[in-house]
Amino acid sequence: MKIAENKTPADKRIGIIGKGGSGKSTVTVLLAEVLRDRGYDVCVLDADSTNIGIHQALGLDKLPTSLMDYFGGTVFSGGLVTCPVDDPTPLPGADIFLDELPSKYYAQSQGGIFFLVAGKIGNKGPGAGCDGPISKITRDLKILGIGDYPVTLVDLKAGLEDPARGVITSLDWAIVVVDPTNASIQIAVDIKNMVEQIKAGKLPSTKYLENPKLVEMANKIFIEAKIKDVLVILNKVKDKEMENYIKIKLKKGGIEPLGAIYEDSSISLSWLKGNPIESDRAKINAEKLIKKLEKNLRKANLNLSA
C-alpha cells in the first residue's frame, strides 16, 4: 500500500557547494556516513554533471542509470527536461516514491545509504548542450518514502552556477566546503550574500524572459525558497595555523565555520584507487561537524529524540 503523502516526512535537503576539487564529494560521503550512523535515513544525490567517483567513495561499484534518462532526456536532444533559466516551470513528476522508482535508477550502499544520479554530460556526445536541465532535476527532485528521518545530501557541481540557476531555492541548508585557497573563501562569502539577498526578497534576473508567466514563475520560486542558512566546513586543512588563518579571513566576511576536516593522505588514495573513503581521523572530524549541524536539524524539527 502506498504511504499517504502527508504522512511521509519531507526530507531535509542539504546542498554541498564549493570550488572544484575543494572536497565537496569527500565531505558529502563523510557527512552521509555519520548521519546514517546517527540514525537518519540518508539519500545522496550526485548532482555533478561532470565528475564521477562519489559512488565508489560510498562503496558502490556501479553508477545507477541517471534520472535524466528517467525523465526522458534534455530538451537539447529532443527530450522533456528544460533548462531552469530559460524555463523555470517545475519539472513534472519530480516527486517520486522510492518504492515506485525502477531499481536501475538508484543504488543502496552496504550501510544503507541511498544513491541517485541527476545526470552526466560525459556520455552525451559532442554538442550536448548546456547542463542546465541537470540543474532542473537537482532543483525539483523529491524522493519520498526513504524513512522517518530523511536527509538528502546533494553533491553539487563546482562553483556558483548551480546555485545561480536556482538550485539553492530547494535546499534547506547550503554547506560550502572551503579548501585552503582564497578562491574558496570568496565562494563562501558569495553564497552567503546570495542567500541573504534571497531571504531579503531580491528577485532573480528575468530581463531575458519574454513571457510574463515565466517571469512570475521564476519570481515565485525565489520568493518561496526554503533555504534557511549557509554553513561552512573547512577541508584539506594542514595544521592549526592554517585553520586559524582561514577562520580569520572568513570572519571578515561574517562567517564562522562549523569546523574542519584535516588533510589525510588516505583520502586522496581512496579517490585515486576508486575505493571507499575510510579515514578514522576525518570521521572523527565529521562527527563533530554533525553534532553542530544537528542543532540546525533540531531547530527544523528533524531531531532523533534521544
Ligand X SMILES: Nc1ncnc2c1ncn2[C@@H]1O[C@H](COP(=O)(O)OP(=O)(O)O)[C@@H](O)[C@H]1O
- The contact mask relative to ligand X for 151-170 (x = CB under 6 A, - = no) is -------x------------
Nearer to ligand X, 88 or 157 (CB): 157
Interaction of residue 264 with ligand X, rule CB under 6 A:
yes
Site for Mg ion in 38-57 (CB under 5 A): 51
Residue 267 interface partner, choices Mg ion, ligand X, none, CB cut-off 5-8 Å depending on type: ligand X
At which residue does the C-alpha cell 588516505 appear? 266
Name which of 227 and 277 has its Cβ closer to ligand X. Answer: 277
Helix, strand, coil percent content, the chain, rounded in steps of 5: 40, 20, 40
22 binds ligand X (CB under 6 A): yes
- Residue 66, binding choice from Mg ion, ligand X, none, Cβ under 5 to 8 Å by partner class: none
Contact 135, 112 (CB under 8 A): no
Task: Select from 8, 18, 23, 25 the one that contacts Mg ion (CB under 5 A).
Answer: 25
Stretch in the footprint of Mg ion (CB under 5 A) among 20-28, 29-37, 61-69, 168-176? 20-28
Is the separation of the CB atoms in 140 and 88 below 8 Å?
no
C-alpha cell at 223: 520568493
Binding ligand X by CB under 6 A: which of 25, 74, 109, 206? 25
Q: Report the residue number, 8 or 285, with the smaller CB distance to ligand X.
A: 285
Alpha-carbon distance of 216 to 125, in angstroms, equals: 35
* CB atoms inside a 10 Å sphere around CB 6: 6
Distance (Å, whole) CA 60 – CA 53: 9
List the single partner that 263 binds among ligand X, Mg ion, none, CB under 5 to 8 Å by kind. Answer: ligand X
From 23, 64, 119, 259, residue interacting with ligand X (rule: CB under 6 A): 23
267 binds ligand X (CB under 6 A): yes
Q: Which is nearer to ligand X, 74 or 235 (CB)?
A: 235
Cell of 210: 519574454
Nearest residue (CB) to Mg ion, 13 versus 55: 55
Q: Which of residues 186-245 bind ligand X (CB under 6 A)?
A: 235-236
Q: Name residues contacting ligand X, limited to 48-107 (CB under 6 A).
A: 51
CA-based radius of gyration for the chain: 19
- Distance, in Å, from the CA atom of 12 to the CA atom of 229, rounded to the nearest integer, reads 13
| Beta-ladder partners of 160 | none
Distance of closest approach, residue 275 Cβ to ligand X, in angstroms = 12
> How many residues would you count in the chain?
306
Cα distances from 13 to residues 43, 44, 131, 135, 276, in angstroms, run 9, 10, 21, 15, 23
Nearby residues of 204 by Cβ (< 8 Å), 6 or more positions away: 166, 218, 219, 221, 222
Q: Using CB under 5 A as the criterion, which residues of the chain lie in contact with Mg ion when the complex forms?
A: 24-25, 51
Q: Using CB under 6 A as the criterion, which residues of the chain lie in contact with ligand X when the complex forms?
A: 18, 20-26, 51, 158, 235-236, 261, 263-264, 267-268, 271, 282
